[in-house]
């Protein structure tokens, strides 16, 4: 009987001990999937926003507005998101509830370079963290921020 009680105490202890590691691993997976969606959306937007008249040049020119539009379409498709409202095209909502709202900012730095920043509040996955940290997270959420600097040129 003593062995069973030690076994149950050990299982309880290791469950509490391993819960933060499971949550960190889950956050790492979310960050990797958002980063991969950002990278593939940038590549696809680059290819699709090239100016047709300049495709024969050594470096074709891109239209930044078309780049933004194509990036938003691909980013929404890859993470199963939808645009929150047509008034604010930088905020996206998860359709399946897997993520919190995304804020995407695309800022043109130079003529051929832009910076893309994706920000979302992290949604806890384990029940322990959901129960204890959701009240804290409403006031001061943990953000996942991914920045990428993209060169706006396609070499032929």
* Whether pTM exceeds 0.75: yes
Task: Name the more confident of 138 and 31.
Answer: 31
**pLDDT at 137 (0 to 100):** 59
Give 107-139 pLDDT, tens digit per residue: 888 888 889 999 998 887 777 777 777 666 566
**Which residues on adjacent β-strands are paired with residue 143?**
121
Q: Quick check: 92 and 83 in contact, CB under 8 A?
A: yes
**Residue ranges of the domains in the chain?**
2-155
Q: Quick check: 95 and 82 in contact, CB under 8 A?
A: yes
Interatomic CA distance for residues 18 and 16, integer angstroms = 6
* Confidence check: pLDDT of 39 > 90: yes
Q: How far is CA 37 from the centre of its chain?
A: 7
**pLDDT at 77 (0 to 100):** 93
User: Which of the four pLDDT bands, split at 50, 70 and 90, describes residue 54?
Assistant: low
């Amino acid at each position: 009987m003593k062995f069973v009680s030690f076994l149950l105490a050990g299982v309880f202890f290791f469950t509490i001990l391993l819960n933060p590691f499971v949550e960190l691993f889950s956050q790492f997976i979310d960050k990797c999937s958002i980063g991969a969606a950002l990278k593939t959306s940038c590549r696809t937007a680059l290819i699709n926003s090239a100016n047709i008249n300049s495709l024969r040049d050594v470096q074709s020119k891109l239209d930044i507005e078309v780049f933004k539009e194509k990036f938003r379409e691909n980013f929404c498709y890859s993470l199963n998101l939808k645009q929150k409202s047509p008034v604010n095209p930088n905020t996206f909502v998860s359709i399946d509830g897997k993520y919190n709202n995304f804020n995407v900012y695309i800022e043109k730095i130079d003529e051929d370079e832009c910076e893309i920043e994706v920000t979302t509040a992290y949604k806890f996955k384990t029940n322990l963290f959901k129960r204890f940290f959701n009240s804290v997270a409403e006031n001061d959420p943990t953000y996942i921020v991914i920045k990428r600097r993209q060169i706006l040129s396609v070499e032929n």
